[in-house]
Amino acid sequence: MFRIREAAELLGVSYDTVRRWADGGRIESITGPSGRLAVDGAALARFAQERAESPGQAGTGAAVAHSVRNRFSGLVTRVVRDTVMAQVEIQAGPHRFVSLLSREAADELGLEPGVLAVAAVKATNVAIEIPEIH
C-alpha cells in the first residue's frame, strides 16, 4: 500500500495529479490504516503499466515499431561532450538515465538541456532490489 504522495513519486507526477485521478476514479484508491488515502501496490502497478502503454504519451509516437519495450520519455538535463564521446543525462519522472554515445550522434540528435528525448533501455540482465520501507 502506498500513500498518495509516494504513488505520485513513483509515477513521476504531482501529488495533486494523483489526487485528481483518485477522486475521478481513474486510479483505484483505498483508505489506509492511518485513515489517509492510499493506493494498493498491485493497482498502482497496473495503472502505471496501462499509462505507459497508452497512446499519446509524450515522445512515444515517433517510431512505427521498435523492439525495445522499456522506453522512458523525459527531458535532457545535461550533456557533456568531448572530441569523440558525449554523456547525456535524461530525467524521466523519478528516473535518471545516463547514456554514453558518440559526439556525432549527440550532435545529429540536437541533444541539449531542455530537449524532450526517450531513453530506450534494452538489457540482458536486470538486477532487482527491494528498498527499505520507512
Provide the sign of the torsion angle of the four alpha carbons 43, 13, 57, 79, taken in this order.
negative
Sheet (strand 30-31) strand order: 2-3, 37-39, 30-31
CB 4, CB 38: distance < 8 Å: yes
* Stated pTM of the model: 0.53
**Choice among 13-17, 54-58, 99-103 with the minimum mean pLDDT:** 54-58
pLDDT digits (tens, 9 = 90+) for 56-73: 554 445 556 666 678 888
Query: Three-state DSSP class for 57?
Result: coil
CB 118, CB 60: distance < 8 Å: yes
Q: What domains sit in the chain, N to C, each tagged with a CATH number?
A: 2-53 (1.10.1660.10), 70-121 (2.40.50.100)
Output the average pLDDT for the chain. Answer: 82
